[in-house]
């Protein structure tokens, strides 16, 4: 029996959707999500319940569920499923008809996970006790999962795979399975290369490719400030980590070096423990939780990573950010000051980040009674970040520094200086290939203009920022532009107009199922700070 959802005809048994121009087949797991949400549409269905029921036979990350929800919204519209942050999803669209004969699946009781750090140790116990029977391991790398959410990195998925394959074959003793063979296996198993990150696809892929090792990667971050998340699957376990780099190719090269040193000349009788593996694992798991806005859960993982490797500055930075996002600013600043001491002159970007983050915290989360003094302290830290960035000719962080210095001047009412600094930030961003970095400076210039009651000029800046975000398909920037429009409308006491802009931001955040963006929009409605440490 067929059903009608937002004007589209769908068969809930076969997953076939008929539109006026095409026939769409919903993926099996996504179809199960659709059926369950419809079946339980009278209540909120928790994410854990969905994961336990639909992916009960494999170990997966929560992202696979978010991907399925996004696929359904892309097909039927963003208004069919409502997201309840931290709780789950509920079907809210009307159904023209439904099948009473559809059997109700048996739902398993949600599984409550505890002792996550202990679980990591158990995982690595399995990793270090597993033995390989051959001297030369076979490795398959999957297409890179591009999470940049823009058009400028569309090349990353397959071209990145080809680059990794060629470089690894040149620099290691590993038997690298060719890209064509990997893509053919994905096709035969009917796995879209955009969905290879799903944990449920790993086991059949390893079997199909007959690979000892299977590596999947995800690219996140921003131009000149990338994070490459990697997962190395063996027969019984998985090793993971995060690489920070200024370019995509540098991140790829670092991954190749890690894999080649780790497995390239592997001999069972000469196995040696790599002391940083546990820290990398804990750090990577922490970053996953952090990106889902689960700061409290991420905190003990970052702390564990630091116990294993005290000089892992990125883990301390993320721990500081987690503290800041949970109203523990003093502890966050103390950790960042530790990074300043440890970085010295050897890790310049971490040193720049530490100074910049301290200034950012003092700007956006006032703690002191003397606000002017606090802003002066923020200015001093950001000036140090700018000075270091200029010494290293790091244009990205020069631009960031000018943005924050411009914001300080706006908060102090020094509009001429604010415009000068923000214009400088904009000029640095315009030198980069990626255009969407200009958005933050344009938003600040719009706020300066609005505070001077130059409303036409303010609107011009915001429309320019919106155009850039739309062309780049940068969803987070779209949210920020609409929230800025909402802020300015609210400052003009036009609450109705402000709410319309904020609702548009909310729609974008929910359509992308981005918990961090959703929480920022909710903060706007709650009249609390929309800022978080990114």
pLDDT at 448: 95
Rounded to whole angstroms, the Cα distance separating 411 from 451 reads 10
CB-based contact 95:115 (threshold 8 Å): no
Chain mean position to CA 473: 15
In this structure, what DSSP letter does residue 95 have?
B
Average pLDDT over residues 69-88: 85
Instruction: Tell me the whole-structure pTM to 2 decimals.
Output: 0.63
Domain ranges of the chain: 2-91, 117-274, 461-534
Strand segments (E) across 204-318: 213-222, 225-233, 238-245
Structure-model confidence comparison of residues 397 and 22, the more confident one? 397
Bridge-based pairing of strands 138-141 and 81-84 is: unpaired
CB-based contact 240:272 (threshold 8 Å): no
Share of the chain above pLDDT 70, in %: 83
pLDDT at 105: 35
Q: Model confidence at 124, in pLDDT bands (50, 70, 90)?
A: very low
Task: Give how far Cα 127 sits from Cα of 44, 123, 274, Å.
Answer: 38, 6, 11
**Which DSSP string corresponds to 472-517?**
HT-HHHHHHHHHHHHHHHHHTT-HHHHHHHHHHHHHHHHHTT-HHH
Local structure of 127: helix, strand or coil: helix
Rounded to whole angstroms, the Cα distance separating 528 from 534 reads 17
Rounded to whole angstroms, the Cα distance separating 469 from 296 reads 31
> Which residues fall within 8 angstroms of residue 487, CB to CB, at 6 or more apart?
447, 498, 524
Q: Model confidence at 108, in pLDDT bands (50, 70, 90)?
A: very low
Provide the β-strand partners of residue 230.
217, 241
pLDDT at 343: 86
pLDDT in tens, 169-183: 888 888 888 877 787
CB-based contact 131:268 (threshold 8 Å): yes
Q: Model confidence at 201, in pLDDT bands (50, 70, 90)?
A: low
pLDDT at 222: 80
In a 13 Å sphere around the CA of 46, the CA atoms on its Cβ side amount to 12
CB-based contact 85:515 (threshold 8 Å): yes
pLDDT at 97: 66
**Which DSSP string corresponds to 17-59?**
EE-SS-EEE--HHHHHHHHHHHHTTTSPEEHHHHHHHHSTTS-
pLDDT at 486: 94
pLDDT at 362: 92
Task: Give how far Cα 367 sits from Cα of 141, 330, 339, 377, Å.
Answer: 48, 9, 21, 12
pLDDT at 106 over 50: no
pLDDT in tens, 338-355: 999 988 766 788 899 999
CB-based contact 251:209 (threshold 8 Å): no
pLDDT at 138 over 80: yes
Average pLDDT over residues 257-268: 70
> Could you identify the residue written with the tokens 């702390």?
303
Cα Rg of the chain (Å, integer)? 24
Q: Choose the weakest-confidence range: 289-303, 452-466, 498-512.
A: 289-303
Rounded to whole angstroms, the Cα distance separating 212 from 139 reads 6
Average pLDDT over residues 271-293: 69
pLDDT at 278: 60
pLDDT at 493: 92
pLDDT at 472 over 70: yes
Structure-model confidence comparison of residues 176 and 199, the more confident one? 176
pLDDT at 86: 73
Quick one: 117-274 is in which CATH superfamily?
A: ABC-type transport auxiliary lipoprotein component (3.40.50.10610)
Average pLDDT over residues 1-26: 81
Average pLDDT over residues 108-112: 35
How crowded is residue 252: how many other Cβ atoms within 10 Å of its Cβ? 24
Task: Give how far Cα 464 sits from Cα of 428, 470, 508, Å.
Answer: 17, 10, 18
pLDDT in tens, 513-534: 777 788 889 989 988 776 777 6
Local structure of 112: helix, strand or coil: coil
Mean of per-residue pLDDT scores for the chain = 81
pLDDT at 60 over 80: no
pLDDT at 199 over 70: no
φ and ψ of 162, to 5 deg: -65, -40
Provide the β-strand partners of residue 83.
89
Provide the β-strand partners of residue 9.
4, 18
pLDDT at 16 over 90: no
Local structure of 340: helix, strand or coil: helix
Average pLDDT over residues 295-323: 86
CATH topology of domain 2-91: Arc Repressor Mutant, subunit A (1.10.10)
pLDDT at 109 over 50: no
pLDDT at 171: 84
pLDDT in tens, 435-446: 778 999 999 999
CB-based contact 450:419 (threshold 8 Å): no
Structure-model confidence comparison of residues 36 and 183, the more confident one? 36
């Amino acid at each position: 029996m067929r059903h009608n959802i937002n004007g589209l005809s769908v068969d809930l048994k076969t997953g076939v959707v008929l539109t006026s121009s095409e026939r769409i087949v919903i993926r099996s797991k996504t179809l199960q999500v659709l059926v369950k949400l419809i079946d339980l549409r009278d209540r909120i269905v928790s994410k854990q319940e969905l994961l336990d029921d639909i992916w009960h036979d494999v170990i997966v990350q929560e992202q696979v569920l978010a991907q399925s929800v996004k696929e359904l919204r892309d097909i039927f519209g963003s208004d069919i499923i409502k997201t309840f942050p931290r709780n789950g999803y509920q079907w809210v669209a009307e159904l023209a008809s439904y099948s009473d004969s559809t059997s109700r699946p048996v739902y398993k009781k949600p599984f409550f996970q505890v002792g996550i750090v202990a679980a990591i140790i158990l995982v690595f116990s399995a990793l270090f006790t597993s033995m390989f029977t051959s001297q030369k391991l076979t490795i398959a790398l999957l297409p890179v999962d591009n999470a940049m959410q823009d058009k400028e990195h569309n090349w990353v998925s397959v071209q990145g795979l080809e680059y990794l394959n060629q470089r690894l074959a040149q620099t290691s003793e590993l038997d690298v399975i060719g890209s064509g063979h990997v893509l053919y296996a994905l096709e035969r198993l009917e796995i879209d290369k955009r969905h290879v990150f799903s944990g449920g696809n790993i086991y059949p892929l390893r079997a199909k490719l007959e690979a000892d090792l299977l590596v999947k990667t995800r690219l996140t971050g921003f131009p000149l400030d990338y994070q490459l998340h990697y997962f190395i699957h063996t027969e019984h376990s998985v090793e993971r980590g995060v690489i920070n780099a200024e370019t995509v190719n540098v991140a790829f090269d670092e991954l190749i070096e890690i894999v080649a040193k780790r497995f390239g000349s592997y001999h069972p009788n000469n196995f040696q423990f790599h002391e940083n593996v546990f820290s990398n694992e804990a750090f990577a798991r922490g970053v996953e939780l952090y990106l889902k806005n689960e700061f409290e859960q991420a905190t003990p993982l970052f702390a564990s990573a630091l116990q294993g490797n005290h000089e892992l500055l990125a883990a301390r930075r993320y721990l500081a950010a987690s503290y800041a996002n949970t109203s523990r600013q003093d502890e966050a600043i103390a950790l960042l000051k530790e990074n300043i001491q440890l970085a010295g002159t050897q890790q310049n970007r971490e040193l720049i980040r530490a100074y910049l983050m301290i200034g950012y915290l003092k700007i956006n989360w006032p703690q002191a009674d003397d606000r002017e003094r606090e802003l002066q302290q923020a200015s001093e830290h950001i000036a140090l970040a700018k000075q270091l960035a200029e010494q290293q000719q790091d244009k990205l962080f020069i631009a960031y520094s000018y943005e924050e210095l411009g914001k300080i001047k706006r908060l102090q009412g020094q509009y001429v200086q604010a415009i000068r600094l923000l214009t400088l930030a904009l000029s640095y961003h315009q030198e980069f290939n990626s255009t969407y970095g200009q958005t933050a400076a344009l938003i600040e210039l719009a706020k300066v203009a609005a505070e001077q009651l130059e409303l036409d000029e303010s609107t011009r800046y915001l429309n320019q920022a919106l155009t850039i975000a739309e062309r780049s398909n940068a969803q987070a920037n779209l949210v920020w532009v609409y929230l800025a429009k909402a802020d300015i409308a609210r400052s003009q006491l036009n609450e109705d107009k402000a709410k319309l802009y904020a609702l548009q931001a909310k729609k974008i955040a929910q359509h992308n199922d981005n918990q961090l963006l959703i929480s920022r929009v909710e903060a706007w409605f709650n009249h609390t700070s929309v800022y978080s440490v990114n």
